[in-house]
């Protein structure tokens, strides 16, 4: 779980965005949350936020990530972190994130807040619990067309 200090600062938002050495250098944090498809989560075009996470949305989330949609982490407190860098990778928003889409991770990294956006530079994945959010029990598959039709 993210540190209490970090959570408090994120809650106020402006504290981190307002400037100062900490804002310029970033803040070391540990975030626990689900790797999400940020497009479907924020756009609402596929349904409510709770329906576009977890197992119900995993297939679509893979497509979105592969198509270039930036991947985020949805923390337990509801905060969303945009993943800019992935451990050891040179590229911005590296495509290896596909391998952890929908997983519940605990990640160490550096948080930079810019213009109200939480940019997370992941340095290490401390724990990977796999896909734990079994939303398909409530929502089946979202979107429904992800289900293959019989040949």
Binding site for other proteins (CB under 8 A): 13-14, 17-19, 23-26, 38-46, 49, 55-56, 58-60, 62-64, 66-70, 72, 80, 82, 84-85, 90-95, 98, 102, 110, 112-119, 121, 131, 136, 141, 143, 145-149, 151
Tell me the closest approach of the beta carbon of residue 104 to other proteins, in angstroms. 13
Tell me the closest approach of the beta carbon of residue 117 to other proteins, in angstroms. 5
Nearer to other proteins, 4 or 45 (CB): 45
Tell me the closest approach of the beta carbon of residue 5 to other proteins, in angstroms. 19
Alpha-carbon distance of 67 to 53, in angstroms, equals 17
Tell me the closest approach of the beta carbon of residue 106 to other proteins, in angstroms. 20
Residue of 150, 148, 143 lying closest to 58 (CA atoms): 143
Tell me the closest approach of the beta carbon of residue 70 to other proteins, in angstroms. 4
Gyration radius from the chain CA atoms:
16
Backbone region of residue 69 per phi and psi (left: phi > 0; alpha: psi in -120 to 50; beta: other values): beta
Alpha-carbon distance of 98 to 86, in angstroms, equals 11
Which H helix or E strand runs over 124?
strand 117-128
β-pairing verdict for 104-114 and 80-85: unpaired
Phi, psi of 74 (to 5 degrees): -95, 110
Nearer to other proteins, 4 or 91 (CB): 91
Nearer to other proteins, 8 or 92 (CB): 92
Nearer to other proteins, 4 or 21 (CB): 21
């Amino acid at each position: 779980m993210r540190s209490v200090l970090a959570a408090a600062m994120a809650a106020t938002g402006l504290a981190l965005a307002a400037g100062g050495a900490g804002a310029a250098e970033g803040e070391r944090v540990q975030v626990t949350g689900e790797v999400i498809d940020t497009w479907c989560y924020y756009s609402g075009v596929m349904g409510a936020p709770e329906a576009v996470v977890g197992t119900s949305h995993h297939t679509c989330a893979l497509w979105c990530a592969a198509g270039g949609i930036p991947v985020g982490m949805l923390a337990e407190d509801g905060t969303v972190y945009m993943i800019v860098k992935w451990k050891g990778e040179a590229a911005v928003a590296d495509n290896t994130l596909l391998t952890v889409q929908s997983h519940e991770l605990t990640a160490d990294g550096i948080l930079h807040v810019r213009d109200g956006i939480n940019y997370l530079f992941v340095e290490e994945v401390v724990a990977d619990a796999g896909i734990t959010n079994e939303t398909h029990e409530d929502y089946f598959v979202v979107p429904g067309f992800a289900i293959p039709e019989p040949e």
